[in-house]
Amino acid sequence: MTNKTSQHDRSPLLWEGAFRFADELGPAKITHIYEPLPGLKAILVVDNVACGPAIGGIRMAPDVSTEEVFRLARAMTLKNAAAGLPHGGAKSAILADPKLPLSDKERLVRTFARAIKGITEYIPGPNMGTDELCMAWVQDEVGRAVGLPPEIGGIPLDEIGATGFGLSISTEVASKFCNLELKEARLVIQGFGSVGKHAARFLAAKGVVLIGAADSQGTLFNPQGIDVTQLIELKNMGKSVIDYPQGTKLDRDAALDIECDIWIPAARPDVVRADNVARLRTKLVVQGANIPFTSEAEQICYERNILVVPDFIANAGGVICGAVEYRGGTKMMAFQAIEEKIRHNSTLVLEKAEQTGKLPRQVAVELAKERIQKAMGYRHLISCQTGSY
């Protein structure tokens, strides 16, 4: 039985209501933060913390809408619950240019940290525009952050390739559901960045052959196989995939056309949509980026029998690493946790999807929601309370 309040004037053209996102999960609290002197404008969306305090990144960009921050926060709620972490979902954004002079950036980040000092249901982490240095400042101000520099207890997830490792585990599990042998399976990675390159590395170790890799400069294609170690070295030197000596160099979005067995998007959202999904020729998609496919594209893949492992199941390696770090765990413990959780949850989701004929994303969302509702049931009242920390 729900208490229905009156329908308020939506007037979407005139007013972007903060309450328009409301559903049974959240968002519990949307906070706008303002400090005139350092010029700080920031938004924090705490979506649902029934499972525990939310781990969510601080994005720094000149223009982020509340809607975007909410979508990202909700994605974290689902991701953390699906990964079986005792954490809820939140996300924040500092409206500023991440390329500011360092002292200005520090001023903003420290001011933000002080503003959220009492909001203990939120544990900040790095995201686009912020990094381990920023997290060190946050830690200094309020004593809680993940993604710290290693000197103060951080597990350098980009260095060790936590997310990429998780992707490789998810791929391994998924391959069994589409009758795919990993040995010599052909892999294309769209977005050969910190997530993509490690995914390539771990999958190569399992016998997968990289035949295509794309970054912002273009796409590298070599049906004979690309030397992953060499390519990673090139990228680490600041070069592009198209600087690789052998192979054909194609347009940036040509990665979509390469016929392969495994296709991993690891760059931006909405890269594959209804208007270009027909170009995809693969058996398995494992989503490394957040929301890389539109829902229409995912539906079409389902109809074309392309198995799509949803982002928040496959790419949870990063946040799992963060959760381990927060509890003072080691690199090894992070890898163990990532392996265990992603293997377990990928299997659960794909088995259920097979049984019920539903889309894997739908199954994953239901799984996450089930866990969240259960956690909400343990709480006396609302999703914004986490008890004392």
Partner 1 sequence: MQVFKLIELMGHEQVSFCQDQKSGLKAIIAIHNTNLGPAMGGTRLFPYGSEEDALKDVLRLSQAMTYKAACANIPAGGGKGVIIAKPEQKTQKLFAAYGSFVETFKGRFITGEDLNISVENVRQMFAKTHYLVGLQERYGGAGRATAIGIACGMQAARKFYFGNENLHGLKVAVQGVGKVGQNLCQLLSAQRVELFASDPITARVQEAHRLYGAHIVDIDEIYDLDVDIFAPCALGGIINSRTIPKLKMAIVAGSANNQLENEEIHSRMLAEQQIIYCPDYVINAGGLINVYDEMMGIEENISLARVRKIADTLMEVFKLAEDNNITTLEASKRLAEQRFLKGRYDKPLVKQ
List the catalytic residues: 91
Number of Cβ atoms within 10 Å of the Cβ of 22: 12
Tokens, residue 188: 């294309």
Listed residue (152, 193, 195) closest to 325, CA to CA:
152
The DSSP 8-state label assigned to residue 253 in this structure reads: G
- Distance of closest approach, residue 365 Cβ to partner 1, in angstroms: 17
Burial class (CB in 10 A: 0-12, 13-18, 19+), 294: middle
Residue 153: CB minimum distance to partner 1, A: 21
Single-letter amino acid code for the residue at 246:
Q
**Between residues 80 and 386, which has the closer beta carbon with respect to partner 1?**
386
Least distance from partner 1 to the Cβ atom of residue 123, Å: 14
Q: How far is the CB of 256 from partner 1 (least distance, A)?
A: 34
Q: Where are the alpha helices (DSSP H) in 21-156?
A: 66-82, 102-115, 132-142
Per-residue DSSP letters for 200-230? HHHHHHTT-EEEEEEETTEEEE-TT---HHH
Question: Which CB sits closer to partner 1, 7 or 305?
Answer: 7
Cβ closest to partner 1, residue 51 vs residue 267: 51
Token pair, residue 77, equals 């709620």
Minimum separation from the CB atom of position 54 to partner 1 (A): 12
Our CB check for partner 1 shows the closer of 106 and 243 to be 106
Q: Which residues pair with 249 in a beta bridge?
A: 220
Pairwise CA distance, residues 84 & 66, whole Å: 27
User: Of all helices (H) and strands (E), which one includes residue 197?
Assistant: helix 194-205
* Binding interface with partner 1 (CB under 8 A): 2-6, 8-9, 11, 14-19, 22-24, 26-38, 41, 65-66, 95, 103, 106-107, 110-111, 115, 118-121, 381-385
Nearer to partner 1, 111 or 315 (CB): 111
Q: State both tokens at 34.
A: 């303002």
The two tokens of residue 57 are 């990144």
